[in-house]
Amino acid sequence: MALFMAVIFLDSLRYKFTDHPKTQVIFGRLDGWAGAIGAPGLFGHTGLFSQYVIGSIELLAAGLLILGLHPRFKHLQAGGALAGLLVMTGAVSFHLFTPLGIDPNGDGGGLFAAACTNLAFAVILLAGFRRAALVELVRRVLAIVKPS
């Protein structure tokens, strides 16, 4: 599951990081919607949720998911699954609840299906396989940020 998630995330980067026309359609439609509700530029090229920001989070998630395949770094896989869960929750929500729809590029809903699959795999990884690793990751992060 982790490897599948990582491949999906890494494959999407060639579209996001090259400003592919399909990516322009998706983020352009989302930015138009955001502008209509008072948040213009939110999904624009320099926006808080631009294709570059989302792509960077997906790259981080993919790296953590792959590193977590090694037993010594399994806690990192929980971090990758958590990052994937957050991004895919947003992706699925925007497909369902905005004018983006489930087939914005005429791919038969393939992009939406990949987002749903990655979301489900993230939930399964976190709830079923990496619950203890997630707790360990949170403990390690808190040890770093908690003042002495």
Which helix (H) or strand (E) is 133 found in, with range?
helix 131-145
- CA distance linking residue 23 with residue 126, whole number of Å: 29
Mean pLDDT of 47-53: 96
Structure tokens that stand for 147 in this block: 């003042």
Tell me the per-residue pLDDT of 62-120, one tens digit each, with 9 for 90 and over.
999 999 999 898 888 888 999 999 999 999 999 999 999 999 988 999 999 999 999 99
Which of the two residues, 145 and 131, has the higher pLDDT score? 145
113 Cβ contact list (under 8 Å, min separation 6) = none
Mean pLDDT of 122-132: 83
Please state, rounded to an integer, the average pLDDT across all residues of the chain.
92
pTM for this entry: 0.86
Q: Return the domain boundaries, the chain.
A: 2-141
Contact 42, 31 (CB under 8 A): yes
pLDDT at 144: 87
Structure tokens that stand for 87 in this block: 């991004």
69 Cβ contact list (under 8 Å, min separation 6) = 2, 3, 77
pLDDT at 130: 67
Mean pLDDT of 28-37: 97
Is the confidence at residue 6, as pLDDT, over 90? yes
Is the confidence at residue 55, as pLDDT, over 90? yes
116 Cβ contact list (under 8 Å, min separation 6) = 88, 92
